[in-house]
Chain A
C-alpha cells in the first residue's frame, strides 16, 4: 500500500515535471535505474542499511585478511601496486582512520591497532551531490551505488568524498585480476568504483561478503528499524564514526 502510494507520487511528480519542462524523457532519465528491475522475492530489504564494526574483536592483520579477500575476490577488484591502486575494503591506523580524534596521550594499544575502512554509505553523500551524470546515486535503502556505464571518469566524486573511499581505474583493470568471478562484472578503464554494500548479494537474500567472512565481527542491518539487531548493538555499545563533523552522516559505526 505504502509503496504503491509512493510509486504513484513518484510517477505523478515525474509527469508533472515532464509537462512543466516539456521534456518528459529527460525527467524520466532522472529516475534511478534500479526502479526498472523486478526484485527477487527473497531479497533483503531495509529502510537504511548500516554496518557496525566491532574493533575489539580484531587483533592481528590476519583477522582482517579474510574479509578483504572475500570482498575483493567477489567483486573482481584488481590488485594494482602503487598509488593508482584500487580498493574497496582495507585497513589503516587509528590516526589515519579517525583524523579528527587527535589525542596526544592515546591509549597504547590504539597505536598498534588497525581499523577496517570502506565506503560509509553516507546519509548525505557528497559524492552523489557532486556527480554530474548521476552515475553515483543513493538508493531508497540508503546504499550509495554506481552505474559504471554512465560514469564519465571526471573524478569529482573522488575529490568530494571526505573518506577516500573511491578508486579510479587509471588503466584496464582486467590484467590485474588473478581469478575472475564470473558472477560479478569487471570494470573498464576510466571509471570510478567503490564498495556497494554488496547490493547484488542483498538482492539474492545474502549478507555482504565481508560480513559473512567476519564470523560475527561485523553486524549488518536496518538502521531505521528500532527492533533490528544492529540497533540493539548500537544502543548498548559506545560507537564512533569517521569525521562526523562534516555532516555526511556515515552509516558505518565502530565499537571501540
Chain B
C-alpha cells in the first residue's frame, strides 16, 4: 500500500517538501547540539528538564487520544467512527515517534541509549515508559495497517485485529499514566507530587489529542474531499468537551488542596505560574492566557448551538489546544523545578536551538501522519468507488 504515498498532486508534494525543509533545519541544529552538548539549551542545574521533555509529555497525550476513537468503535461498536478510527491509530504512530525523538534529543549521551535496554531497571519509571510507548506504537502499526489492508481487499478485518485493538486500549491509558509517574513519584517536587497527576494527564490528553486530530481531519477533508461524516465529527467534539470539563475540574482540585491547606510548598509553583515568585514572572502572561482560553473553549464547546457551528468549533479547538499546550507543554515541567531545591528561583525559556530542534521533530511527526493518512484516504476512496 506504500505506493499510495508516492502518488500525489502538486499541493501534496509542496507540503511534503516544506516539511522536509523544516526537518533539515532541525537536523542541522541537532548536529550542533550533538557536537557541543546541551550547553546550547537554556536548561540549567536547577531546571534540568525543559522544552523537550515537556513536548514528550504533551505528545504522549496526543498518542493516547487515539483510543477515543478505538474504544467506541471496537468496544461499543459505534459504527460511525469506522471511517475515522484508522486516522486515530496512524496519528498515534506519528505522535509516539515524536515522543521517542524528544527523549533522544534530550539525552546528554544519546549514543548510549541502548544502556536503557542492556541494563533493564524495573525500579525506574523511565524504563517502563520506554516499554509501554514502544508497545503501544507496535500495536497501532499492526492494527492500523491490518485493518486498512482488509478494507483494501474489501473483506472485514480479522478477529485478531479486534483483539489487538482492544488490547491497545489499556496500553493507551498506561502510556499516559506511566508518563505521569515520571513526575508524580518524585519526593521533594511538590508541584508534581500529587495523586491526581495521572488523571489530569489523561483528561488533558483526551481533549487536546482529539482536538488536534479533528483539526487535521478538517484539513484533510478540505484537501482530499474525503467525507468525515457529520455525526462522527459531533461525537468527537462532544468527547473533547467532556474531557476538557474534567481537565479544568481536576486543575481546580489542585488549586483547592494547595491554597486551602496553605502549605507553602504546595502553593509556590502555582503562585509562580499565576503571579510570579520572588519577582520572577516569565510564565505569568502565558498562564493567564491559558486559563482564559480554557474557560472560553468550554463556553463554546458545551452548548450544542455553538459546537455545531463549524467555524466556532474550529476556533474553540484551536484555543483549547493552545491552553492545554501551555499547561502541559510548558508550565508543568518548568514549574516543577520552581522553586528549586533551595527555595530559590531559576527561570527558564527555551533557546533557539531547542525551538529549532523541536520544530524539526514536529515536522517529522507531521510527515509521518501525512504519509500514513494519504495512504489511508487513498485506500478508503478506492474501496468506496
What residues of chain A have their CB less than 8 Å away from a CB belonging to chain B? 26, 29-30, 82-86, 92, 95-97, 99, 102, 126, 129-135, 150-156, 158-164, 167-172, 188-192, 243, 246-248
Contact = CB atoms under 8 A, between A and B. Distances in A.
A157 to B, nearest CB: 9
B75 to A, nearest CB: 33
Contact of B124 (A84, A156, A164): A156
Interface string B245-268: 000000000000000000010000
A158 B118 CA distance: 22
Contacts of A129: 123-124
Contact of B108 (A82, A150, A169): A169
B119 A191 contact: no
A169 B185 CA distance: 25
Main secondary structure of the interface of A (DSSP, over half): loop
Given A132-B127, A152-B112, 4 more contacts: A126-B188, A156-B126, A162-B189, A164-B340
A162 B188 contact: yes
Contact of B187 (A30, A92, A169, A247): A247
Most chain A CB inside 10 Å of its own CB: which residue of B36, B108, B340: B108
A243 B49 CA distance: 23
Q: A-B pairs with the 4 shortest C-beta distances?
A: A153-B108, A190-B108, A162-B188, A164-B341
A155 B187 CA distance: 15
Interface residues of B, number: 47
B121 A126 contact: no
Given A26-B120, A132-B124, A163 B341 contact: yes
Nearest to A85: B45
B46 A164 contact: yes
Contacts of B49: 155, 159
Nearest to A190: B108
A163 B207 CA distance: 36
Main secondary structure of the interface of B (DSSP, over half): loop
Most chain A CB inside 10 Å of its own CB: which residue of B116, B185, B188: B188
A191 B109 CA distance: 7
B9 interface: no
Given A84-B45, A170-B37, A190-B37, A135 B123 contact: no
B119 A29 contact: yes
23 contacts: A26-B120, A29-B118, A29-B119, A83-B44, A83-B346, A84-B39, A126-B186, A133-B116, A133-B121, A150-B119, A151-B108, A152-B107, A155-B106, A162-B187, A163-B188, A164-B342, A167-B45, A170-B41, A188-B109, A189-B37, A243-B188, A246-B187, A248-B187
B344 interface: yes
B344 A96 contact: yes
B271 to A, nearest CB: 16
Contacts of B48: 155, 158-159, 168
A78 to B, nearest CB: 12
